[in-house]
Amino acid sequence: MTPDIVLPDFETFAGQTYKGLDQPEEATAATQALLTGDREGEQPRIDAPGDNQVTLERGINRDGTWYRDAEVRELTGSDEEAIAAAGVGSSPYRVFETVLMRGVVAIGGEPMTRKVAGELLIGDRELLIMAIRRASFGENLEFERLPCPHCEELVDLTVPLSAIPFTHLDDPERVEFEVFLRKGATGVVRLPNGADQEAVFGIKGNPARQDSEILGRCVLRVVLADGTEIRRPPAQTLSMADRQTLLRHLADLQPGPRYGDMSFAHDACGEEVPLPISLATLFRGL
C-alpha cells in the first residue's frame, strides 16, 4: 500500500478548509497506545469485513420521522472498475460520489438513489464512506514506512477507523442553528447536504461564487439587531466577515468523521505528526 496522505480534502467548501477540531487529543492518545503496543514485531491483525450496518447522525426524513439506520456492502471488482472509471479525468468528488452510490445499499430500508444521497448531510455521507471502507477492508488502516516530517524516522502505524476524530450532533433532529454575526445580527442556517455539495461542485474555478452558492442555499434568514428579519438573504449582500463566520459554522457544526484532523504523537521525537486520511488511504490507493 502506498498511502496518499494529502488528497482529497473531505471538508473543503469552496477551496477553503475549515478544521472542525473535535477532541484531537483523544485520537492522538488512541494512536499513541497503538504505536507503543505494536512495537514487538507482531503481525498486523487482519479484520474480517462483514459489519454492514451503520447508524447515521441525521439520516433521512419520511413523513416527519427520521430514519438513521443504513446498510452498506463490501465493494467488489466491478465496483473498483466503475470507481476507477469515474476518476479518469475527473475530480475526487466524482470518485467519492461513485463509492457512495455503489457501496450504500439502503437508508432506513429505502434503496439508495441519487435523491436519497442528496438529502444526506455531508457528515452522514462521510460516515457512510467509512462504513463502506470497514465492510470492504476492515477496521484498521495500515501505514508502512511513513516518514516522520520532524525526525525523518520511518514509522509503521496502525490506525483504527474508530480513532479518527468524530463530531456528533447534540440533537440529531435539530435542523436549524443560530450563528452570531457582526452588529448584533443573528444568522439562522441549516447544515449542507449532498445536493448542496453537488451544486457547489458544478461551479468551476471561482471560490467566492462557490461560497455564495452554499450560503444562498443554507442561510435561511438573518435577524438584524433591531429585529428586522431578512429571509433568504442573497449571499452577495452579506459582509465578507459574516460570510466567513457563517461558512466556518457550517463546517464546524457538521457531524461525522474529521478525516483531515487525524494526527499521532511520534514517541521517538515527541512531535505531533499530522496524518490526514484521504479516500486513497481508506481504499488503498483507489
Decide: is 148 part of the binding site for Zn ion (CB under 5 A).
Answer: yes
φ, ψ for residue 77 (rounded to 5)? -60, -40
Among residues 62, 114, 150, 182, which is the contact residue for Zn ion, using CB under 5 A? Answer: 150
Rounded Cα–Cα distance for residues 54 and 182 (Å): 40
Stretch touching Zn ion by CB under 5 A, among 97-105, 122-130, 185-193, 258-266: 258-266
Q: What is the dihedral of CA 248, 253, 259, 262, to 10 degrees?
A: 80
Backbone torsions φ then ψ of 216, nearest 5 degrees: -60, -30
Q: Which of 125, 217, 249, 266 binds Zn ion (CB under 5 A)?
A: 266
174 binds Zn ion, rule: CB under 5 A:
no
Instruction: Rank residues 114 and 150 by Cβ distance to Zn ion and give the closer one.
Output: 150
Mapped onto helix, strand or coil, the DSSP state of residue 100 is helix
- Asked whether position 265 contacts Zn ion by CB under 5 A, the answer is no
Give CA–CA dist 265/250, Å, rounded.
29
Nearer to Zn ion, 63 or 152 (CB): 152
Q: Is 115 in the site for Zn ion (CB under 5 A)?
A: no
User: In this chain, which stretch among 27-35, 145-153, 157-165, 240-248 interacts with Zn ion, using CB under 5 A?
Assistant: 145-153
Give the number of residues in contact with Zn ion, rule: CB under 5 A: 5
Tell me the C-alpha distance between 115 and 111, whole Å. Answer: 10
User: Can residue 258 be called a binding residue for Zn ion (CB under 5 A)?
Assistant: no
> For 148-233, where are the E strands, in sequence order?
154-160, 166-167, 177-180, 186-189, 219-223, 229-231
Q: Which residues bind Zn ion (CB under 5 A)?
A: 148, 150-151, 266, 269
